[in-house]
Structure 1
Amino acid sequence: MENTQRTSESMNFVHQDEIWKAHVKVEKASAKCWPNKWGFLTDCYKQYEMESMKMKSIKENSNPDLNVRPSTPLEKNIKVSPSPPVPQTSQAVIGWRSAHPHLQLENFGTVHHGRRSFLKELDWPLHACI
């Protein structure tokens, strides 16, 4: 982005003022013609606002006990087994939990996303893009 206040070059204030006047004129003209081009958006917004007010009044009139779900205790979904004792050496601390299969993060097995080749999918020879 170019700096508009350069100290080495002189600035033409009259020219800058004319540019500013042109911008203001365009803004005023676009503000006048906006309702003709985009005024339908305000009608849609008013309809949406009326519908949301109706929905809000229906929700307030309904039974408030039905809207609140009881919280599920964490112990039901998350089961944490006790950890084995921490190793005595500092070298064994790194990865000591992953040595035990019941403490590993991959509860459902390792991820097997094979590498796919675009050329094999199209049945092209492997040297086609070289």
Structure 2
Amino acid sequence: MADSQRTSEPINIVHQDEIWKAHVKLEKDSAEVWPRKWGFLTDIYKEYKMESVKMKETLKVGLPSHEVVPSLTTLQKHNHVGPSPPVPQTTQALIGWRSGHAHLQLEKYSTVHHGRRSFLKELGWPFDACY
């Protein structure tokens, strides 16, 4: 929009047209040269496609057991989704409103208990050895 309102620089329509013609000519020349330079890629791709079709026909192997997508009924048997608690009235109460309920906790088995370890204590060094 700012370009259309500029009046300080004159627009040379002939020059713009020459630039456009040069771009079109470059595209046309590139399209003509491409098969000579890179045409081998299309042949290799066709060979690869034929080989993959042949392999699929000869093997006819199903998906491995770890890649098989379970049906929806088995997912419904294992996942029980209960109703959500009511949405809080204020935005401050919105933070952590679902995790406050025991049945909606993210920790499935229990809370994670990692002991605090000290590198200095493991080496038997005094705590003031490092600053």
Task: Give the alignment's TM-score, normalised by structure 2.
Answer: 0.49
- Work out which structure has the larger RCO, using CA pairs closer than 8 Å and 6 or more positions apart in sequence: 1
Greater share of helix: 2
